Amino acid sequence: MASTDCIFCRIPQDPNADIIYRDDRVYVIRDIAPRAPVHLLIIPLQHLTGFAYIAAGQIPIMGQLFVVAEEMARREGVTVSGYRVIMNQGPDSGQAVPHLHMHLLGGHKLADLG
């Protein structure tokens, strides 16, 4: 998929997008269909379709997802109550957007993983 066809590549180019955090590697938006009181998406700026495209060169990006997750959890006030990060990968996970991203969910008791 060309990045121009990819919603998560287009959002950071959109001056009206509601981007709540951005650095040189990742950006963060609120999920359009939140599944928890806090539901953020932490998204690499680089178009990476899935884990098959992660190599040594992407380690700083992957690390930044986790650094920013904790920072966003702090800003959202859920570091003590807890939160969950999820990265869907492929059809059985329900991955809908083929641009790697991390979900951050919190703000209430989350269901057990199924």
Q: Is 49 left (phi over 0), alpha (psi -120 to 50) or beta?
A: alpha
108 included as an active-site residue: no
Give the torsion through C-alpha atoms of 42, 85, 65, 8, to 10 deg.
-30
- Is residue 58 at the binding interface for ligand 5GP, with CB under 6 A as the rule? no
Residue 21 near ligand 5GP by CB under 6 A:
no
> Which of residues 38 and 43 has its CB atom nearest to Zn ion in the complex?
43
Q: Is 1 in the site for ligand 5GP (CB under 6 A)?
A: no
Asked whether 90 and 55 are in contact (CB, 8 A), the reply is no
Of 57 and 61, CB closest to ligand 5GP: 61
User: In whole angstroms, what is the distance from residue 38 CA to residue 85 CA?
Assistant: 11
With CB under 5 A as the contact rule, the residue among 9, 28, 40, 104 that binds Zn ion is: 9
What residues are labeled active site?
Answer: 101
